[in-house]
Structure 1
Amino acid sequence: MTAHEERALAGVQSYSRKMLAVYDLWILGVVCPVVWHCSRGTMAAHYARNVGKRHLDIGPGTGYFLRRTRFPVERPEITLVDLNEDVLYTASRRLAKYRPSTFRRDVLRPLGLGDSRFDSVGMNLLLHCLPGDLTEKAVVFDHVLPHLEPGGRVFGSTVLSHGVKHGLLAPKALEALNRDNDMSNAEDSLEQLETALAKRFSEHRITVRGSVALFEAKQA
């Protein structure tokens, strides 16, 4: 296994089926609002505002938000991408009524999705799990651009270490999670995210809630 692959796998190994079984309750229901000061309701509204009829979700977690959002069509086309087989299994089962396509991919490399095009691409709570700083991991935006329809949206959220106002519990949580390789965002900043989006998209917006930056961007 290459050093790159080891680093990429480190950020997803903690998401076992056992962990995913409590993810919605613990991570989305407790950690996000209490530690990061951003509720799952806020993230759900972010999905509802941006999701399209042909949607690619990178790092879908348990499929919680996709299961609850209101799509603009009755039968959306959903594609799930993750490096972790347990994530793909869990999310695809939860979204079974939509018959999603699933692909095991390292998103820091070209996605290899052929001629597939999407109206929206979601990256919720993804970037802070990828190795490197935001300047490096922003390559994921480059990898989705060839698959984005004109006017399509890229949106998501990420926990940042710099440029945001942390609550009392966040600094120690960030230190521990980075030490244990559950996160890789010790150097991630709001400025880096702003630069990465401005460089690649004709329009973008970032909304900060506590330690979390919610972003949305599109090409003309």
Structure 2
Amino acid sequence: MPTRFQTADVTSTTAKARDGPQEVVYKSWDLLIYEIWVLGIVSTWAWGCGTDAYLLPQFRANVGKKHHLDIGSGTGYYLRRGGIPAATQLTLVDLERPALEIGLHRSGRAGDARGIVADILQPLPVEDDTKFDSVSMYYLLHCISASVDAKCGIFAHIKHNMTPDGVIHGANVLGKGVRRDNLFAKHIRHMVLRDGIFHNEDDNAYEFEHALRQNFEEVETAVVGSVFMFRAARPKY
């Protein structure tokens, strides 16, 4: 079955997105380097939160068995290694189609997964009866160019796309209220902020946790190094 794509009208806060999706072709070697550098070295030694030690186990423990939604899949790392059951229907969301295609292809589920091009700051353009029993968003929020309030607003609308016992889980690098950066982290943080990769100067655990508790009955959070990890279940409709 060919991959199913759905495109929504989106308004981006970045010039790149306003100009339309960029047709970027990544080689497998580039993606391997990205995973080793960002998810391996930087996550562990700059942010103090090892992917294999913390992030991947959380992902594996919370993947739904019926319909899983992954937001901002990147290289598809978690989709490949996250133990998603073969019977689970998979939906990916990204602002740009080229990035979405990478996630779908590298997830190993390009033949039966669905891709949605949409702005996650807005309600998802899906049918009212489309409900996910699990939603994941890893290393996404710190890349969104928006206020903390706008980022927290994601939880308020995504819950309407979840089953009554659905679980949302993820992690993001914080900008406030974390341990003092070591020299390596200070250098990396300066670079990603300067280059417009991170937009997280005001991101903090308190506001994210507060938003989760406003929208979900069960909330578990932890700050590991400079990373906010979260799991929330049973949406408050």
TM-score (norm 2): 0.82
Query: Could you tell me whether the CA contact under 8 Å between 2:222 and 2:229 is conserved in 1?
Result: yes
Query: Could you tell me whether the CA contact under 8 Å between 2:132 and 2:162 is conserved in 1?
Result: yes
Q: In the alignment, which residue of structure 2 is the partner of 1:107?
A: 120
Gaps of 5+ in 1: none
Is 1:51–2:57 an aligned residue pair?
no
Is 1:66–2:66 an aligned residue pair?
no
Aligned counterparts of 2:16 and 2:204: Cα–Cα separation in 1: 20
Q: Which amino acid aligns with 1:64?
A: Y
Query: Could you tell me whether the CA contact under 8 Å between 1:7 and 1:131 is conserved in 2?
Result: no
Is 1:37–2:48 an aligned residue pair?
yes
Q: In the alignment, which residue of structure 2 is the partner of 1:192?
A: 207
Moved more, 92-101 or 57-66: 92-101
Query: Could you tell me whether the CA contact under 8 Å between 2:11 and 2:18 is conserved in 1?
Result: no
User: Shift of residue 119 of structure 1?
Assistant: 0.4
User: Shift of residue 121 of structure 1?
Assistant: 0.4
Q: Which amino acid aligns with 1:57?
A: D
TM-score (norm 1): 0.88
Is 1:4–2:13 an aligned residue pair?
yes
Query: Could you tell me whether the CA contact under 8 Å between 2:131 and 2:163 is conserved in 1?
Result: yes
Is 1:122–2:136 an aligned residue pair?
yes
Q: Closer, same or farther in 2 for the Cα pair 1:123/1:86, shift >3 Å? A: same
Q: Closer, same or farther in 2 for the Cα pair 1:212/1:8, shift >3 Å? A: farther
Gaps of 5+ in 2: 1-9
Is 1:17–2:26 an aligned residue pair?
yes
Aligned counterparts of 2:109 and 2:69: Cα–Cα separation in 1: 16
How large is the Cα RMSD of the aligned pairs? 2.4
User: Residues 132-147 of structure 1 correspond to what in structure 2 (within 5 A)?
Assistant: 132-147=146-161
**Which secondary structure does the structure 1 equivalent of 2:124 belong to?**
coil
Q: Which amino acid aligns with 2:121?
A: L
User: Shift of residue 97 of structure 1?
Assistant: 3.8
Q: Closer, same or farther in 2 for the Cα pair 1:2/1:58, shift >3 Å? A: closer
**Which secondary structure does the structure 1 equivalent of 2:102 belong to?**
helix
User: Shift of residue 184 of structure 1?
Assistant: 0.4
Percent identity over paired residues:
35
Q: Who wins on radius of gyration, i.e. which is larger?
A: 2
Q: Closer, same or farther in 2 for the Cα pair 1:141/1:198, shift >3 Å? A: same
User: Shift of residue 164 of structure 1?
Assistant: 1.8
Q: Which structure shows the bigger proportion of residues in helix conformation?
A: 1
User: Shift of residue 2 of structure 1?
Assistant: 6.0
Q: Closer, same or farther in 2 for the Cα pair 1:143/1:9, shift >3 Å? A: farther
User: Shift of residue 84 of structure 1?
Assistant: 2.1
Q: What is the total number of aligned residue pairs between the two structures?
A: 217
Q: In the alignment, which residue of structure 1 is the partner of 2:3?
A: none
- Which runs of at least 4 in structure 1 moved beyond 4 Å after TM superposition? 7-10
Query: Could you tell me whether the CA contact under 8 Å between 1:161 and 1:174 is conserved in 2?
Result: no
